[in-house]
Each structure stands twice: as C-alpha cells, then as structure tokens.
C-alpha cells in the first residue's frame, strides 16, 4: 500500500504521473457504445416495472423518470487479469522499486503482500511475477475459486486463507488512470458528433479505490462522478455513510457482486466524502444487478462479472438517479461514462445466477 504521508498529494496531476509510470504495463482498454442499452436508459420505465418483485420498493407509486442518457462503457473487463486492479498493482510495484535502498535491503527477495478477495490478488501476483518478486496474498476463504486458482496457479503467488474482513488498499491515484483514459477516449470518439465529451461517470464502489481515483481524475474538469453499490445485506455502506456523514467501517454481506463486499477505506473516503469529489451514491437490488448482467451478455456480447454492472444497473433502474439526470440535464441529456470494472466470473457461477 502506498502511504499518503510519503507520496505526492492526491490530485488530478498525480493521477497523470501514475498513468505515465504504468503505461507500458497495462492495456488501454476500449470504450464501447451500445444503441440498445442507451435506448433502454433513455426510455421511461412502466409502473409495472417499478412494482415488480425484485425492484426497490421505494419506487412503487412513483411517476417514472424520463432521463436522456448516452452511455459510454469503459471495458476494464478486458484489462490484464480481467480487471481494473492491474493498474493499482503495477503502480504499487513500480513505486516500491523506486524506494531508496529497497533492493539493497533485500526487498526483492522478501517480496510483497496484500489482502484481497480476488481481483487485486491476481493483479499484484501478476505485477510481482513480471518483476521476479515473490507475492504473498491473504484471501478470504469465501473468495471465488477461479480467482484463487488464477492467483496461485496462473500467476504464482503464495495464497494464505483468512476470514472475510478487509484492510486498506493502496492509495487511489493509480486507479484514476482509467478515468483519464475514459475522458480522452470519449472526446476522440465523439469528435464527429455534437457531444463535447462526458458529463458524468459512474463506477462500482467496494473499497472505494476506483471510485476515488476516477474522482481525482475528474477534479476541475466539470465531469460529475457517482458511486454505485449493491443494497443487499448492507453492502451499500458507502451510500449510507455518505448521506449520514460518517464512514461505515464494517460490512458483512454475501451480495452476488462479490468484488464490492468490502467497506470503503479511510483514504478513498477522504476523497469521496471529505473532499466532496463524488457527487452522489446510489444502490441497486440483486435482481437489478442480474438484469443488467444479462443485458450486457445478450446485447454487448461481453464477459463481465456482477460487480462490473452495478453502475449500469443504477442508470437503468434507480429512479432517484434517473430523476436527478432528468432534472439536471433536461432535454439535452448527459453523456454518461460507465465503468465495467472486471470480467472474472466462472461459467458455473453464471449458470447458478441464471438458473
């Protein structure tokens, strides 16, 4: 983990420095659009949709919102190891290599260690293997078997099992490199249309590293950033803390969005809430996550994990978010960036989800 007390301030400029540092180790993942999903997001839901089983009961009886949304999907499911966390892991290793006396003191032989439920575990294992450094990963026993297998067998890390509590992740700077790419890619791809780039970005939120990093990358740009969480069994800790004014420090949930089961860390929280770089937090039900996942598989033909589609589920199904867009964007609408954070899911798990 990068200690903020020994690093440069967490700003948009430091995100750019981080991006330059890891550029040669990561993929510049594509940004895709999809007419069907954009049309669905811009179509008012019916009263029956708002009242059906599995929807948030708060929507019953409401007049459906009529937002205008143009969706842009940043496909970090196509990143190395299948998740955005490759960015933070390579940044951590590159920063470690720059520490004075690290190699001379035996740091390379001692290796690196982290705690992760899966995607960050694989990412650090890959980054360590690339640099011929041993990696030791503490993983919860409930981690998805494919993620355990990839961490241990494919990327060669030593895995130690533990309970399901989390520890603070590395500083958010490296996570924001994806936000920089998304902004630039949308500008490039929309140059032939009337769009002037993104109005907003929504990302999944677990430990908060990606959300806070994207928020840093948008600082001073006018692009608004929102967080998305599952609501199941209190998994929406960041949302609850955001509106109560106090960080929730513990979460115990078995939401299908397994990458979002951790509470927000202190460093991301300072960016998300204390610096007010995130404009709002929204949550969705398990059924809404599954509905969004099915749409991505059927309409975009992309392999994504449940955690990755929580932002899309908010855009499609959360009436508070949709009403806010309608109110603030009007007929012009918003160009909304949606981050697909990862694609590490087994066929067995998908079969159970859609059985």
Cα(33)–Cα(315) distance, integer angstroms: 14
Write down the H helix ranges in 26-140. 35-41, 47-51, 86-98, 107-110, 119-130
Active-site annotation holds for 24: no
From 55, 117, 143, 212, active-site residue:
117
238-268 in b/e form (b: 16+ CB < 10 A) is: bbbbbeeeebbeebebebbbbbbbbbbbebb
Q: Bridge partners of 16? A: none
Known catalytic residue: 332? Answer: no
Rounded distance, CA 28 to CA 43, Å? 32
How far apart CA 229 and CA 239 sit, in angstroms, is 8
Q: Are 132 and 109 in contact (CB under 8 A)?
A: no
Q: What pairing do the DSSP bridges indicate for beta strands 31-32 and 69-75?
A: antiparallel
State both tokens at 269: 């929280």
C-beta of residue 187 within 8 angstroms of C-beta of residue 197: yes
DSSP-based three-state secondary structure for 73: strand
**With contact defined as beta carbons under 8 Å apart, do 83 and 76 qualify?**
yes
CB-CB contact of 144 with 259 (8 Å): no
Catalytic one of 74, 85, 147, 239: 85
Closest CA to 230 of 145, 346, 167, 318: 318
Strand runs labelled E in the chain: 31-32, 69-75, 112-115, 135-140, 158-162, 200-204, 224-230, 280-284, 334-340
DSSP 8-state code for residue 309:
G
Task: Just list the catalytic residues.
Answer: 85, 117
């Amino acid at each position: 983990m990068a200690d903020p007390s020994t690093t440069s301030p967490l700003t948009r400029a430091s995100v750019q420095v981080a991006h330059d540092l890891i550029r040669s180790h990561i993929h510049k993942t594509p940004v895709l659009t999809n007419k069907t999903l954009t049309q669905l997001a811009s179509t008012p839901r019916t009263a029956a949709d708002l009242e059906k089983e599995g929807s948030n009961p708060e929507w019953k009886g409401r007049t459906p919102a009529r937002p205008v949304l143009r969706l842009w999907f940043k496909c970090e499911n196509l990143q190395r190891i299948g998740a955005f966390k490759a960015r933070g892991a390579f940044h951590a290793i590159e920063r470690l290599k720059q520490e004075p006396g690290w190699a001379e003191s035996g740091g390379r032989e001692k290796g690196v260690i982290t705690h992760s439920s899966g995607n960050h575990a694989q990412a650090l294992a890959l980054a360590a293997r690339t640099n011929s450094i041993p990696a030791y990963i503490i993983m919860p026993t409930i981690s998805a078997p494919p993620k355990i297998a990839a961490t241990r067998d494919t990327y060669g890390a030593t895995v130690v099992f533990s309970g399901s509590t989390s520890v603070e992740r590395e500083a958010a700077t490296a996570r924001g490199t994806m936000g920089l790419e998304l902004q630039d890619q949308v500008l490039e791809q929309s140059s032939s249309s009337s769009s002037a780039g993104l109005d907003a970005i929504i990302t999944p939120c677990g430990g908060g590293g990606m959300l806070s990093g994207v928020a840093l990358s948008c600082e001073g740009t006018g692009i608004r950033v929102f967080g998305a969480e599952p609501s199941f069994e209190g998994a929406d800790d960041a949302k609850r803390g955001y509106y109560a004014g106090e960080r929730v420090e513990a979460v115990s949930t078995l939401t299908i969005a397994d990458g979002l089961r951790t509470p927000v860390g202190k460093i991301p929280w300072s960016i998300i809430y204390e610096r007010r770089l995130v404009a709002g937090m929204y949550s969705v039900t398990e059924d809404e996550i599954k509905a969004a996942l099915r749409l991505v598989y059927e309409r975009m033909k992309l392999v994504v994990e449940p955690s990755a589609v929580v932002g899309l589920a908010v855009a499609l199904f959360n009436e508070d978010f949709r009403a806010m867009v309608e109110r603030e964007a009007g007929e012009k609408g918003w160009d909304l960036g949606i981050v697909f954070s990862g694609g590490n899911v087994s066929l067995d798990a998908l079969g159970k989800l859609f059985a």
